[in-house]
Amino acid sequence: MPWLSRDDTLMIIKATMATVIAWVVADRVMGSATPYYAPLAALLVVDKTIVRSLGASVRRIFAVGLGMGLAWLVGTTLGLTWWSMGIVILGALVIGRWRRLGDHGIQVPSMALLSLLTAGGTSEDFTALTMLETLVGGVIGVVVNIVVLAPLHVEGPRQRVLDYTRRVRGLLDEVAEGLTGDWGKDALDGWRDTADRLHVEAEEVVDLIELGRESQKLNPRDQIHKLAPAWDGYGETVEGLRRATWHVSGLVRTLRDNLDDPDRASPSQNFLAGIASVLREVSTAFDDFGVDADGALESVGSRLDGAVAQLDELTTLLHETPLDDPRAWPVHGALLHDCQRLVAELRTRAGGAVIPPTD
């Protein structure tokens, strides 16, 4: 199916397998009269990583235990009445909001209500069997997640980091080229929107990096492949680029706001050509930014030094050359400041940044 990724397809297959196996065990091996809790637990604990699967299993079993235990406690001491049911549900709903239970908190009131309606909350055998079935189902779900192609999310995050880096560089090149041509409100709005999307997308890339890091924990496949992705370096790269997009967005917003204000004068085309040259110089730093090779870091530093030198020249020119319209001073200064912060951000992150190899 075209809308399903390989990872999604594998998750569906494993969840199906775990559910069926858990039902068979509960029905044929345990002889349960209601073999529903084991397959439900197995279904819900199969997750993207082994660590998450284990965590989900523990939280679900704990939630079921709290719900069943609360119903048993109230049922055996107060009996089943409308007001005792109210006490149980009220307590279960409050407990279910406990953050540590996460999405499985809903199981507390669900299991408490189920226990009250089916056994009056007083059957120790029903409570114990339900908790045992939930435990068995959770274990089956975790085992299936480990044995059947344990999820190892490495290549996806690496490709996403590469793609994100290319797109940030593409934005720099596009703005640089546009500033030397016929730009206007439409172009500025497009660049701003792209920068804003990239800024937000950085969070998604960071989440993928954390997913990849987590997927290696307790994973037998990782012991075989012996992969050693530079997760910290990837995160440093994305954080640096995220901040870079913010400064590019600031530059574009400065120009956009300037166009909308009739009391401000536009920057000179020669000055904008200088800003474009700075952006191109920064863009060339991406040839070696985060690359694991001799001289790569020095090359990045040299490119950024070149950008700083150009900014210094623009500053000197701005001080020594009278503007045709003094009202243009603020926009010139703001553009210089945005570029200076852009360069400073990349320089700060260059030492720890890592770009995944393309081979």
| Full DSSP string of 79-114 | -S-HHHHHHHHHHHHHHHT-GGGGGGGGHHHHHHHH
Query: CB neighbours of 238 closer than 8 A, spacing ≥ 6?
Result: 161, 164, 202, 205, 206, 209
Angular region, 218: left φ>0, alpha ψ -120 to 50, beta rest: left
Distance CA 64, CA 135 (A): 10
Q: How far is CA 13 from the centre of its chain?
A: 24
Query: String of b and e for 250-273 (b: at least 16 CB within 10 Å)?
Result: bbbbbbbebeeeeebbebbeebbe
Q: What is the pLDDT of residue 198?
A: 96
In this prediction, residues 234-248 reach a mean pLDDT of: 95
On the question of pLDDT at 317 being above 90, the answer is: no
In this prediction, residues 215-222 reach a mean pLDDT of: 88
Percent of the chain with pLDDT over 90: 52
**305 token code pair:** 């030094």
Give which of 43, 16, 42, 47 is closest to 219, Cα–Cα: 47
- pLDDT tens digit sequence for 58-79: 888 888 888 888 888 888 888 8
Q: What is the pLDDT of residue 313?
A: 93
- pLDDT tens digit sequence for 202-214: 999 999 999 999 9
Q: With contact defined as beta carbons under 8 Å apart, do 278 and 259 qualify?
A: no
Q: What is the pLDDT of residue 329?
A: 77
Distance CA 306, CA 19 (A): 61
Q: What is the pLDDT of residue 2?
A: 62
Q: What is the pLDDT of residue 340?
A: 95
- pLDDT tens digit sequence for 337-355: 999 999 999 999 999 999 9
On the question of pLDDT at 20 being above 90, the answer is: yes
> pLDDT grade, residue 333 (50/70/90)?
confident
On the question of pLDDT at 295 being above 70, the answer is: yes
Distance CA 88, CA 70 (A): 7
Q: What is the pLDDT of residue 114?
A: 78
On the question of pLDDT at 54 being above 70, the answer is: yes
Q: What is the pLDDT of residue 300?
A: 95
**39 token code pair:** 């397959």
This prediction's pTM:
0.83
**173 token code pair:** 């090149």
